[in-house]
């Protein structure tokens, strides 16, 4: 009888927790289970995989409907061009800074020293590296249905933008189609709410699997690389995001506080696109960014604004250079930065983009690719940090553009109501 009562009290306590608190609890419990049970905890991988499949299921419809509906809210073509140019410029500047931080900090900390190249062909890669020309020509889908089937986010974004513009240009006759997409977007976000209600359990299984698979001792030889990536991500958030927000007279504490749920989801799932529904809720309801700016820029940012990936690639390049005893010149550093920005911006539609683009960047300065299999061993851990930085970068860019376009509600941004901020970010299924 006491055991039943105890279980009921634990269940009641769990229901009393706010959504963000359940996610934290699931994350911490997963880490604890992974450390305690080790490889046995990997039996939870199927549960985590089901959750990942569920959120991947949402990516294409969420991104597509969000972009189309955002375009429908912008009736002024000049404003669309102005916002687009500002956004691309901001993305490029942030990615240049991120790549430079990765290279600079990587050079100072010097991960990769003392490691020996792996046996075998150092220039082998599991997949072919697409050229810049291929990335550009593949932006427009030859078959939109194929883009949805293959989950090619870049092509889905392009199709959504073109379709949204076409609906706007059609005028009154296109209104029924516009109404359909607005209604469909509500259905898609309700689907998101249902899937997100299972987030604590999926995250628990994912963290138990990752921690049980790698443990701590197995990561020691590569911990310097992982630590460098995490340090660079934190440094970028403090210097670029927080620093520029102070200059803009926006409290950076409010920014990070309002983004807590998106941070947790990005860190746990390692997917910017999968985190998108939570990111949009945080941006609109916690930070006061208008729906038009949020709906247009945040889906765009998941493909084009990859600050975390730029940092990661910078550190990985230095790691490979140190591993092979190659001294990079100033010209090579500049080449790496340019290669990172150009290839990363088109990497959204490439499966396994971090590893593929990593090979392209290393090849641009003549580095052997033998370090990539070693880096891939801890890619999941590095991916968690760089994805979180990517998501924060998307929200930061949307915040900056919203303020410049006078579409930022500063009263909402400056709100310090914890319950409202935290609970609003995770959709409710009620």
Helix H, strand E, coil C: the string for the chain is CHHHHHHHHHHHHHHHCCHHHHHHHHHHHHHHHHHHHHHHHHHHHHHHHHHHHHHHHHHHHHHHHHHHHHHHHCCCHHHHHHHHHHHHHHHHHHHHHHHHHHHHHHHHHCCCCCCCCCCCCCCCCCCCCCCHHHHHHCCCCCCHHHHHHHCCHHHHHHHHHHHHHHHHHHHHHHHHHHHHHHHHHHHHHHHHHHHHCCHHHHHHHHHHHHHHHHCCHHHHHHHHHHHHHHHHHHHHHHHHHHHHHHHCCCCHHHHHHHCHHHHHHHHHHCCHHHHHHHHHHHHHHHCCECHHHHHHHHHHHHHHCCHHHHHHHHHHHHHHHHHCCCCCCHHHHHHHHHHHHHHHCCHHHCCCHHHHHHHHHHHHCCCCCCHHHHHHCCHHHHHHHHHHHHHHHHHHHHHHHHHHCCCECHHHHCCCCHHHHHHHHCCCCC
Task: Note the pLDDT of residue 133.
Answer: 63
- The owner of tokens 């620093």 is 243
Task: Note the pLDDT of residue 314.
Answer: 92
Torsion-angle region of 249 (φ positive above 0: left; ψ -120 to 50: alpha; else: beta): left
Rounded CA-CA distance 167/165 in Å is 5
- The owner of tokens 């593929």 is 356
Cβ contacts of 381 within 8 Å, gap of 6 or more: 210, 214, 219, 226
Rounded CA-CA distance 184/90 in Å is 31
- The owner of tokens 């905890």 is 41
Task: Note the pLDDT of residue 121.
Answer: 43
Task: Note the pLDDT of residue 96.
Answer: 93
Say if residues 425 and 285 touch (Cβ distance below 8 Å).
yes
CATH superfamily of 19-425: Sodium:dicarboxylate symporter (1.10.3860.10)
Task: Note the pLDDT of residue 67.
Answer: 75
Say if residues 332 and 86 touch (Cβ distance below 8 Å).
no
Rounded CA-CA distance 185/233 in Å is 33
Q: Quickly count: other Cβ atoms within 10 Å of residue 314's Cβ.
A: 28
Rounded CA-CA distance 187/190 in Å is 5
Which regions of the chain are under pLDDT 70? 1-15, 18-20, 55-56, 59, 74-76, 114-136, 153-154, 214-221, 343, 345-356, 360, 373-374, 376-377, 416-430
Torsion-angle region of 79 (φ positive above 0: left; ψ -120 to 50: alpha; else: beta): alpha
- The owner of tokens 């299924």 is 429
Residue spans of the domains in the chain: they are: 19-425
Say if residues 190 and 12 touch (Cβ distance below 8 Å).
no
Cα separations in angstroms, 85 against 82, 188, 248: 5, 29, 20
Say if residues 275 and 265 touch (Cβ distance below 8 Å).
yes
Task: Note the pLDDT of residue 126.
Answer: 42
Task: Note the pLDDT of residue 345.
Answer: 66
């Amino acid at each position: 009888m006491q055991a039943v009562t105890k279980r009921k009290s634990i269940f009641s306590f769990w229901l009393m927790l706010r959504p963000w608190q359940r996610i934290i609890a699931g994350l911490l419990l997963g880490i604890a289970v992974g450390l305690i049970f080790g490889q046995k905890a990997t039996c939870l991988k199927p549960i985590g995989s089901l959750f990942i499949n569920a959120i991947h299921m949402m990516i294409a419809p969420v991104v597509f409907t969000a972009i189309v509906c955002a375009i429908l809210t912008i009736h002024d073509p000049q404003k669309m061009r102005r916002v687009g140019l500002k956004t691309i410029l901001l993305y490029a500047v942030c990615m240049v800074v991120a790549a430079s931080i990765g290279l600079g900090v990587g050079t100072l900390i010097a991960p990769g020293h003392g490691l020996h190249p792996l046996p075998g062909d150092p220039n082998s890669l599991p997949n072919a590296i697409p050229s810049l020309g291929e990335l550009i020509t593949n932006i427009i889908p030859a078959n939109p249905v194929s883009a949805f089937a293959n989950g090619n986010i870049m092509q889905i974004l392009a199709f959504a933008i073109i379709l949204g513009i076409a609906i706007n240009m059609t005028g009154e006759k296109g209104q029924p189609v516009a109404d359909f997409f607005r209604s469909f977007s509500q259905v898609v976000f309700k689907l998101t709410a249902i899937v997100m209600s299972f987030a604590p359990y999926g995250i628990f299984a994912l963290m138990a699997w990752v921690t049980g698979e790698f443990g701590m001792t197995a990561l020691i030889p590569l911990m310097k690389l992982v630590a460098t990536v995490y340090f660079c991500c934190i440094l970028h958030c403090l210097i670029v995001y927080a620093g520029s927000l102070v200059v803009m007279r926006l409290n950076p504490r409010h920014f990070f506080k309002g983004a807590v749920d998106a941070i947790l989801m990005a860190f746990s799932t390692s997917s910017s696109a999968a985190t998108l529904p939570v990111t949009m809720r945080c941006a609109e309801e916690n930070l006061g960014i208008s729906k038009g700016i949020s709906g247009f820029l945040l889906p765009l940012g998941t493909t084009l604004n990859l600050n975390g990936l730029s940092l990661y690639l910078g550190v990985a390049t230095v790691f490979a250079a140190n591993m092979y005893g190659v001294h990079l010149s100033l010209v090579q550093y500049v080449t790496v930065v340019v290669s990172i920005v150009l290839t990363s911006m088109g990497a959204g539609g490439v499966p396994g983009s971090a590893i593929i683009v990593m090979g392209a960047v290393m090849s641009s300065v003549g580095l052997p690719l033998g370090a990539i299999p070693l880096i891939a061993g801890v890619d999941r851990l590095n991916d968690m940090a760089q994805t979180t930085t990517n998501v924060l970068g998307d929200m930061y860019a949307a915040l900056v553009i919203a303020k410049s376009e006078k579409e930022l509600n500063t009263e909402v941004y400056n709100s310090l109501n914890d319950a409202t901020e935290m609970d609003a970010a995770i959709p409710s299924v009620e």
